[in-house]
Amino acid sequence: MIAYLVRRILMLVPVFLAVSVVIFSILHFIPGDPIDNLLKIGSSPEARAEMEVRYGLDRPLPVQYGIWLSNVLRGDLGTAIVARRPVADLIAQALPHSLALGGLALLFSTVAGVGLGVIAALNRDRWPDRAIMGGVLLGSTMPSFWLGLILMLVFSVWLGWLPVSGARSWTALVLPVLTIGLGGTALVARITRVSMIEASGRDFVTLLHAKGLSPLRIQLGHVLRHALIPVVTILALRIGWILGGAVTVEVVFARPGLGTLLIKSLSQHDYPVVQACLLMLAMAVMLGTLLGDILQAVMDPRVRAALA
């Protein structure tokens, strides 16, 4: 098991390096550069060269990459070129908002999804099952920015219950969390339902029935526990997907966060900030995948047996 863990973590190293190369280099293919935003229009080439030296943009790309990577590994994310402040400060301002949004959306998806999935599984092929599965499918196919705007229209404008945008109070979180969470709910509900139905057919369930336990107790006490394994795994694997949803939703609701920071910095060519944001998102996804794989290994007896 330990050997598996070590091997799994070591596998991340080449991926991390590849990710860092891509993050670093891809921005340089976008037309325009950050110096343009700083220089006086009509500036001399000398002034430009001086500015490039100042921000280290005059060196060959591989050298710039080496410096950047070694700084990042030492925890130094550099200084924003256009925003003129430490990138770490910008990230520190944005990250809590994104974590709150992503975390709550994840929680919402899990609770609502498992709940609906259980109800659907218990009523397999009857109308509550069909209604729930139809509803969540519809929920997962609406573009998140559209859903966000429609929710805004209904709950903020027509009903006046919740604030439209921003992050000035906890109520401002409700609509963005719902917007992202509804997509995740569909996924969780589907997996919960399928896993419960599958688990119900397993030998140990027949045994429990034979022992005379009440069907509901069997379902909630034993079957659900088994069914949760794939749910947790898939959720961990889907962290990136939730973060991706957060980018659009943050823009729609004018919320501070990594998504808005990223979009803003991308359009200003503020490389250090974009690099840091992408790195944060990629790391979250990689850790999510790692977590998912480990959970699968720990909880799935077949995989565990294979590794032993």
By CB under 8 A, residue 247 contacts another protein: yes
List the one residue from 160, 201, 212, 301 that touches another protein (CB under 8 A).
Answer: 160
List the one residue from 5, 119, 142, 220 that touches another protein (CB under 8 A).
Answer: 142
79 phi/psi in degrees, rounded to 5: -120, 135
What is the closest distance, in whole angstroms, from the C-beta atom of residue 215 to another protein in the complex?
26
Q: Which stretch binds another protein (CB under 8 A): 35-43, 117-125, 207-215, 219-227?
A: 35-43
By CB under 8 A, residue 198 contacts another protein: no
By CB under 8 A, residue 286 contacts another protein: yes
232 phi/psi in degrees, rounded to 5: -60, -40
List the one residue from 244, 291, 297, 307 that touches another protein (CB under 8 A).
Answer: 244
Nearer to another protein, 70 or 141 (CB): 141
By CB under 8 A, residue 248 contacts another protein: yes
d(C-alpha 148, C-alpha 307), whole Å: 44
Helical pair 271-299 and 2-26, crossing angle rounded to 10 deg: 160
Q: 3-class SS at 256?
A: coil
By CB under 8 A, residue 241 contacts another protein: yes
What is the closest distance, in whole angstroms, from the C-beta atom of residue 5 to another protein in the complex?
17
d(C-alpha 20, C-alpha 33), whole Å: 20
Distance spanning both ends of the chain, measured CA to CA = 6
Tokens of 211: 């022992």
Nearer to another protein, 207 or 283 (CB): 283
| Sign of the Cα pseudo-torsion (40, 45, 47, 49, in order) | positive
By CB under 8 A, residue 182 contacts another protein: no
By CB under 8 A, residue 98 contacts another protein: no
By CB under 8 A, residue 92 contacts another protein: no
Interior/surface letters 54-81, b for 16+ CB within 10 angstroms, e for the rest: ebebeeeeeebbeebeeebeeeebbbbb
- Number of chain residues interacting with another protein (CB under 8 A): 68
What is the closest distance, in whole angstroms, from the C-beta atom of residue 308 to another protein in the complex?
21
One-character DSSP codes across 105-127: HHHHHHHHHHHHHHHHHHTTTSH
By CB under 8 A, residue 88 contacts another protein: no
By CB under 8 A, residue 49 contacts another protein: no
Q: CB–CB of 237/289 below 8 Å? A: yes
Q: CB–CB of 145/252 below 8 Å? A: yes
Q: 3-class SS at 42?
A: coil
- Where on the chain is the footprint of another protein (CB under 8 A)? 14-15, 18-19, 22, 26-27, 29-32, 36, 40-42, 82-85, 90, 93, 137-138, 141-147, 149-150, 152-153, 156-157, 160, 163-166, 168, 240-241, 243-245, 247-248, 252-254, 256, 260-264, 266-269, 278, 281-282, 285-286, 289
